[in-house]
Structure 1
Amino acid sequence: MTLSHDLAGTGPSTVVLLHSGVCDRRMWDGQFHALAEAGHRVVRCDLRGFGDSPIDAPHTHAEDVRALLDHLGAERAAVVGSSFGGRVALELAALHPGRVSALALLGSAMPGMVPSPELRAWGAREDALVEAGDLDAAVELNVDTWLGPEASETARALVREGQRRAFDLQLAAPEENHPVAPEVTRDDLARIEAPALVAVGAHDQPDFRAIADELGNLLPAARRVDLDWAGHLPALERPDETARLLLSFLTEVSELSPGVSAR
């Protein structure tokens, strides 16, 4: 199956946008066209179990993204990942380093992360609501937890719709079709040579601030950026500012490697 996706722009460099685990590809509405208008070929996709991509077979998210690059004829791409999408981006870069020209990680998760007791307690609350069949309450728990203080009602509605759709798709899928996480170690991550932007919000959960610390030290070509206004989903909280951040990083990467196409 080819992941559901949108494509815009005809520039020489390809940029892939990977959504968080509480959203779908619509979370990039504020950056998708801005990146295309700046001269990039931009693709945003729904990972399996989100948006318009059903869970129809056993799968690994990173390999699904690689297959999408093959489908688009993109030899290499800069990969932007939010939260869970950042983890998938890191897995892709570790498994297929030749396919990733740069990484932009926003409030990223990472392979092998061990949740804090606080995050485990939050997960137990979500699980209890889901098991009780109260999906509306589970959705609101996610909306309230993952959006920062500047999130608009539009952003909250988008997370609400995306998370409910994800619950519906994932709860209906047979267990044998659940995603399989690839084995990616800290040593594998430390071998990622692609330039990386590691951005995290001051209002994000402590686990993700700690991950940003670790990735900033672990990735050989990482640059850490702290966003004093952001929660966990800066692309939704300040869309225009996040677009400028990504464009600046992609320009910087292009200037470091002039003449090298990511397509």
Structure 2
Amino acid sequence: MRPNSPDPAAVPPHAVRVPAPGGGRLWAARGGTGSPVVLLHGAGMDSRLWDAVVPGLARRHDVIRYDARGLGHSTAPGKPFSDVEDLRAVLDHFGLRQAALVGLSMGGETALDFALTHPERVTALALVGASVSGHAWPESPELTAYAASRRERETAILAELELTIWAAMGRTAPGGELIETMVASNAERRVVSEQHCVVSVGRDAEPRLGDIAAPTLVVHGDRDHPEIAVIAGRLVADIPGARGETIPDADHYLPLRTPERLTELLLAHLP
């Protein structure tokens, strides 16, 4: 960096509207200098999930984050779409032949599916509290109610269950107010988006984890839903060379609960 040049992490990222496959726009922001990293948030969230992580990453990386279809500032889908193809559209828009992918929950699932579909475009994976396509979730009253509220578009109940199940540390924990704001603003949008999201036939990453070639870091919080720890264990066991980390005092919204520790792990892992 030249003397007196601005710190790239302090420069506001450049926000753009990326054309989405089949119509609509994906809100995306880019900032920082270095090797490219794309951040993918979870269902019912938006790219604000990464607010506390981006400044640290941007000191060493070209950081791109975007709102998934229909969430945050991205336009609602009016026809079937693929989240894997949306990610490809973001990379293509920014002229990136390759990038590292950091995904939380649904974003981790998308990152995994993308790495299996386009392995030549992924330099590294960081899976944070990730889900994985093909995983059979156990039955429980809370998860049954959660699925029913999504299916029946009971958005007030959905928002309440999202906070109860996935943000169990509550509002007084770090990031609590922002988490509540994101959940409330995206509850209606997520059910519309999920109804249009198409999972292609044969998209089942769990039995194919051994095919992942990218260096992989698997992270989850010790206060997350217990099944996330089960999935994390499977990812570490089945992805060649994968390394696992459990972060204390973090639930599913880990990037807002313990951003400093997550940033430290990501900087050590990403190329």
Do both proteins adopt the same fold according to a TM-score greater than 0.5, normalized to the shorter chain? Answer: yes
Shift of 1:153: 5.8
Matches within 5 A, 1:191-210: 191-210=211-230
Paired AA for residue 214 in structure 1: R
Q: 1:42 aligns with which of 60, 63, 66?
A: 63
CA gap 1:151/1:98 in 2 versus in 1, 3 angstroms? farther
Shift of 1:164: 2.9
Is 1:10 aligned to 2:30, yes or no? Answer: no
CA gap 1:7/1:128 in 2 versus in 1, 3 angstroms? same
Shift of 1:117: 1.2
Paired AA for residue 7 in structure 1: R
CA gap 1:167/1:151 in 2 versus in 1, 3 angstroms? closer
User: Quick check: 1:200–1:226 contact (8 Å CA) kept in 2?
Assistant: yes
User: Quick check: 2:142–2:165 contact (8 Å CA) kept in 1?
Assistant: no
Q: Which residue is 2:184 aligned to?
A: 164
Question: Which structure has the higher relative contact order (CA within 8 Å, separation 6+)?
Answer: 1
CA gap 1:195/1:64 in 2 versus in 1, 3 angstroms? same
Q: Which residue is 2:135 aligned to?
A: 113
Q: Which residue is 2:5 aligned to?
A: none
CA gap 1:128/1:89 in 2 versus in 1, 3 angstroms? closer
Shift of 1:172: 4.7
User: Quick check: 1:85–1:108 contact (8 Å CA) kept in 2?
Assistant: yes
- Residue ranges of structure 1 left out of the alignment (5+ in a row): 255-263
User: Quick check: 2:105–2:131 contact (8 Å CA) kept in 1?
Assistant: yes
Q: Measure the CA separation in 2 of the matches of 1:106 and 1:212.
A: 9
- Residue ranges of structure 2 left out of the alignment (5+ in a row): 1-19
Q: 1:28 aligns with which of 21, 37, 50?
A: 50
* Identity across matched positions, percent: 34
How many residues matched? 245
Other structure's SS at 1:200 match = strand
Q: Measure the CA separation in 2 of the matches of 1:164 and 1:75.
A: 36
More helix by share: 1
Q: Measure the CA separation in 2 of the matches of 1:24 and 1:36.
A: 19
Deviations along 1:128-156, one digit per CA (max 9) or x if unpaired, are: 55678753343122112212538646623
Q: Measure the CA separation in 2 of the matches of 1:76 and 1:43.
A: 13
